[in-house]
Every structure is written in structure tokens, then in C-alpha cells.
């Protein structure tokens, strides 16, 4: 009983000191590890009212000096970048028609390089944080890509496209002009047919196309059927190459008549077959017209339930008319 009373008195005496017995998390962890070790009291404040340093606490990070802060800010601040391009190494800067695209070098989640800047100015001026980039510049269908390192300060870089130009036209053998509305061109990479890729499609005659220097496979289409000419052409850097491709073909029109030179009969169904019997042209009307390559053909003219036919041959030359007589079967 006496010992219990003494213990109660001790509790009353120590009660005002309870806040001094609060444990830090480090001490709680130590207490959990060693249950038989009495808890250490929290250190008393020094004369300035601050707790002494905890020897078990990790060291505080060193404060950045003003110089360090200035360098960090500079490496994150966008820096001026000036870009220009030339057709050849010795040429003058290209004055117009350029498209600039600048990409980050780190792929995104889709594995693609993120576009960070774009400009269509001849001399592009952009601002980029210091680092590595990929710059792509296009001039017509000529293009080049290269890396760019941006550092603190002014950054300048000039690109050389090593490009030339191509202007295409076609004629019929014998220098017979072809109506521009009946011509179109495709430009493909050179090499084996299976490995060619399209560079430009459906170009009109006399269009000037800018291309990287090299050899290209050109396809000229006269009409929409079988008058096709192919050629490999070389584009030289800094030069405009004029090329004319010659077709062995002719424009052909048809009419069904009851006598030579007579009036065309209306509402006729027309069919043209090649020597293999394949139908290459069909149309309904009195005056159908098309373009056919040099060769032999069979034309069928159906009026009602009656079919008239005629064999004919196409030679390179000016437009010609093929008459089908109602007296021929």
C-alpha cells in the first residue's frame, strides 16, 4: 500500500514534465527494435531555443550558390537559333519556299520524335532550350535532315540540300504537240521496279519540281488507257533539267455512219479491244474519243440489238477519226 502511494506521488510530480518525454520517429523505431531499452528523452533546446543536430538524421542538401543557380537557369532558358539553307555548298541562301521542322531527339510514348518547332521562313529564327535536336528542312520535294546542338548563347547553322530541279513535258513522235490536259507525270525513285517508291504523283506538264540530286524513274501518261512512256533521268545539283518524253500514240475518235463521211448515229455503245481481246475502252455516245498507243485494235459499235465492228490500226501522229459503217458486221 505504501509503495503504491509513493508511485502515485511520483506520477503527480512527473506529470508536468510529460511533454519532454515525447519520442521522435527515429526513437520509436529504436524502441520497437529494443523493447527492453528505456526511451531516450528529447534533447533540450540550447540557449538560442534551437535543438542540436540529430546525429542520426541524413545530411541536408547543400544550398545552391548564386553562381550555380545562374548556370541552372541558363541551361533551361530558350536560346536563339538561326537556320538557313542553300541548294549547293557554294550557292546563296534560298530566299523562299522552305519548311523547317525541329524535333526532340527523345522518342515519345509512341516511339516518335516530338515536334518542338516549325517555321516556313527562309531564314528561320527560333528559341530552344540547350540540348540536342533533329532539324528537317524541305524545299519542294528536296529535303535534308541533320542534328543540331543548342548551347547557351547565339546558335547558327546552315544546311546544304544538294538539290536540282526537273521540268517535264511530252510530245508525239515527230514533235507533234500533246494537249496539256491529256498529260500527267509520276516521279519515282530509280532502281528495280519492286523497290521504287513514289516521289511525286500526277504532275502537270511544265511544272518545275525541286528534287534532291540523283537519278529518278519518270512515267508519262498520255490519256488514261495505254499510252505510257518511261525513262530514267538524272537531276544535277543546282541545275534545272528540261526533259521531253515522246509517245508512240495518237488521239482517236469514233463515229457510226451509214455511208462514208455521213452523219454520226446517236445512242451507240462503243467497245475497243486490244489484240488479246481485252476491253480497254467503252463509252456511250455519238462521238467518243480516247488516246491509244501504237498498235492494232477492234472497235465494236452496238445500236439496239445490232453490233457493227471494224479493225483499225493506230500510228503515232495527229488526231484521227475511225468511222464504222452500218454495212459492216
Each residue of 259-278: pLDDT tens digit? Answer: 988 999 999 999 999 999 99
Say if pTM beats, i.e. exceeds, 0.85: no
Fold that domain 75-160 belongs to in CATH: Immunoglobulin-like (2.60.40)
Q: Which of 240, 198, 236, 189 minimizes the C-alpha distance to 216?
A: 189
Residue pair 80/155 in contact by the 8 Å Cβ criterion: yes
Indicate the pLDDT class of residue 24, thresholds 50, 70 and 90.
very low
Binning pLDDT at 50, 70 and 90, where does residue 35 land? Answer: very low
Give the helix/strand (H/E) hosting 232: strand 227-235
Shortest CA distance to 192 belongs to which of 223, 217, 163? 217
Element (H, E) at 26: helix 25-33
Is the model's pLDDT at 85 over the cut of 60?
A: yes
- pLDDT confidence tier of residue 110, bands split at 50, 70 and 90: confident
- Give the pLDDT of residue 16: 38
Q: Return the pLDDT at 257.
A: 95
pLDDT at 303 over 50: yes
Sheet holding 279-284, edge to edge: 279-284, 269-273, 295-303, 306-314
- CATH classification code of 164-247: 2.60.40.1110
Residue 129: strand, helix, or coil: coil
Q: Please check whether residue 33 is in contact with residue 39, taking contact to mean a CB–CB distance below 8 angstroms.
A: no
Maximum alpha-carbon separation in the chain: 149
Sequence spans of domains, the chain: 75-160, 164-247, 249-325
Q: Are 41 and 20 in contact (CB under 8 A)?
A: yes
Domain boundaries 249-325, CATH class: mainly beta
Query: What is residue 169's three-state secondary structure?
Result: strand
Beta bridge partners of 293: 249
Compute the distance between CA of residue 160 and CA of residue 83 in angstroms, rounded to an integer.
11
Q: In what order do the strands lie in the sheet with 214-222?
A: 198-203, 183-189, 214-222, 227-235
pLDDT digits (tens, 9 = 90+) for 145-192: 999 999 999 999 999 999 999 999 999 998 999 999 999 999 999 999
Query: In angstroms, rounded to a whole number, what is the distance separating the alpha carbons of residues 197 and 186?
Result: 11
* pLDDT tier for residue 19 given thresholds of 50, 70 and 90: very low
Cβ(273)–Cβ(225) under 8 Å? no
Q: What's the Cα-to-Cα distance from 216 to each of 82, 219, 231, 239, rounded to whole Å? A: 33, 10, 8, 15
Amino acid at each position: 500500500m505504501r509503495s503504491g502511494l509513493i508511485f502515485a506521488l511520483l506520477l503527480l510530480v512527473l506529470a508536468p514534465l510529460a511533454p519532454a518525454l515525447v519520442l521522435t520517429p527515429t526513437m520509436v523505431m529504436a524502441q520497437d527494435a529494443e523493447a527492453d531499452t528505456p526511451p531516450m528523452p528529447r534533447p533540450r533546446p540550447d540557449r538560442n531555443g534551437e535543438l542540436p543536430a540529430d546525429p542520426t538524421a541524413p545530411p541536408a542538401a547543400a544550398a545552391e550558390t548564386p553562381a550555380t543557380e545562374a548556370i541552372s537557369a541558363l541551361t533551361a532558358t530558350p536560346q536563339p537559333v538561326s537556320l538557313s539553307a542553300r541548294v549547293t555548298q557554294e550557292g546563296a541562301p534560298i530566299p523562299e519556299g522552305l519548311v523547317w521542322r525541329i524535333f526532340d531527339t527523345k522518342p515519345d510514348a509512341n516511339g516518335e520524335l516530338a515536334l518542338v518547332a516549325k517555321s516556313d521562313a527562309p531564314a528561320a529564327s527560333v528559341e530552344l532550350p540547350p540540348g540536342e535536336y533533329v532539324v528537317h528542312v524541305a524545299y519542294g520535294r528536296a529535303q535534308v535532315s541533320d542534328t543540331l546542338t543548342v548551347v547557351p548563347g547565339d546558335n547558327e547553322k546552315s544546311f546544304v540540300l544538294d538539290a536540282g530541279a526537273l521540268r517535264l513535258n511530252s510530245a508525239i513522235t515527230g514533235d507533234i504537240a500533246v494537249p496539256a490536259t491529256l498529260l500527267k507525270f509520276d516521279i519515282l525513285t530509280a532502281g528495280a521496279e519492286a523497290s521504287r517508291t513514289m516521289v511525286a504523283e500526277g504532275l502537270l506538264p511544265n511544272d518545275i519540281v525541286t528534287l534532291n540530286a540523283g537519278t529518278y524513274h519518270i512515267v508519262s501518261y498520255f490519256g488514261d488507257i495505254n499510252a505510257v512512256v518511261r525513262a530514267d533521268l538524272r537531276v544535277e545539283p543546282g541545275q534545272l533539267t528540261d526533259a521531253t518524253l515522246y509517245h508512240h500514240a495518237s488521239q482517236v475518235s469514233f463515229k457510226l455512219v451509214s455511208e462514208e463521211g455521213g452523219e454520226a448515229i446517236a445512242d451507240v455503245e462503243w467497245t475497243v479491244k486490244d489484240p488479246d481481246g481485252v476491253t480497254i475502252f467503252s463509252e456511250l455516245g455519238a462521238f467518243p474519243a480516247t488516246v491509244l498507243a501504237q498498235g492494232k485494235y477492234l472497235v465494236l459499235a452496238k445500236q439496239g440489238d445490232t453490233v457493227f465492228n471494224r479493225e483499225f490500226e493506230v500510228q503515232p501522229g495527229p488526231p484521227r477519226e475511225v468511222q464504222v459503217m452500218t454495212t459492216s458486221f
